Amino acid sequence: MISRIRGKLISVSENRAEIKAGLITYEVLIPGYLEPELKQELDQVIELFTLEYLENLASNQPVPKLVGFGSELEREFFEQLLKVPGIGIKTGLRAMKLSPGKIAEMIERGESKFLAELPGLGRKSAERIVGELKGRLEKFTAESALPMMALGEDEMTAISALVNLGLRRSEAEELVKKARARGISGSDELVQTALRERGRRGAEVIK
């Protein structure tokens, strides 16, 4: 299973991105909240955390598809969303016009009315999502608060170093903020801790 893909971002359109990895260009389906950020990274080397699935299973020629996210945590949230009866890959992607952290907060607060306004969802689907997932998404709402931390010179230096090593900026920021929240300080220590955390996650990388 392809769980990560790394390569040059050559195009971004509605819910789709093309990534050139080696001699192959992959089409990756992406959620709406990720589009604006990716459009700023055209022609740059990026990495997405992916899910692989088969479309048109009922036919004799099912089509393999990739869905990409900015971090392992974002992918995990999507996997939780897919556990809700009636929520499939396409419906889930359309609904994620907001970041996973914001949607998780809505679910945890039981705000099915606002959830129902997301693309592809209606009242019944929103109520089902809240009923199935409320009380189980605290880790995602906690992570969504990380961007509120002020970034000092050491943090910014560490993020820049990680980006130069090939990480996407959003992933570098996430890793540095996690390390800083654990009391790690100093740019070198932040970089080392971030790289250890990234290596610990472990996954297949396409080069």
Residue showing tokens 């880790």: 139
For the segment 103-138, what is each residue's pLDDT rounded down to a tens digit?
999 999 999 998 999 998 999 999 999 999 999 988
pLDDT surpasses 50 at 207: no
At a CB cut-off of 8 Å and minimum separation 6, what does 98 contact? Answer: 33, 118
Contact 16, 30 (CB under 8 A): yes
**CATH of region 73-144:** 1.10.150.20
**Binning pLDDT at 50, 70 and 90, where does residue 16 land?**
very high
- Mean pLDDT computed over 29-55: 88
Domain residue spans of the chain: 4-69, 73-144, 149-198
**CATH of region 149-198:** 1.10.8.10
For the segment 140-196, what is each residue's pLDDT rounded down to a tens digit?
885 554 444 445 678 888 888 898 888 877 788 888 888 877 778 888 999 999 898
- Please list the alpha-helical segments (H only) found in 45-186: 72-82, 89-95, 100-108, 112-115, 123-133, 138-144, 153-164, 169-181
Say which CATH class 4-69 falls into: mainly beta
The 3-class secondary structure across 172-202, one letter per residue, is HHHHHHHHHHCCCCCHHHHHHHHHHHHHHHC
**Binning pLDDT at 50, 70 and 90, where does residue 205 land?**
very low
- Mean pLDDT computed over 58-85: 88
Structure token pair of residue 116:
């129902």
Tell me the Cα Rg of the chain.
Answer: 18
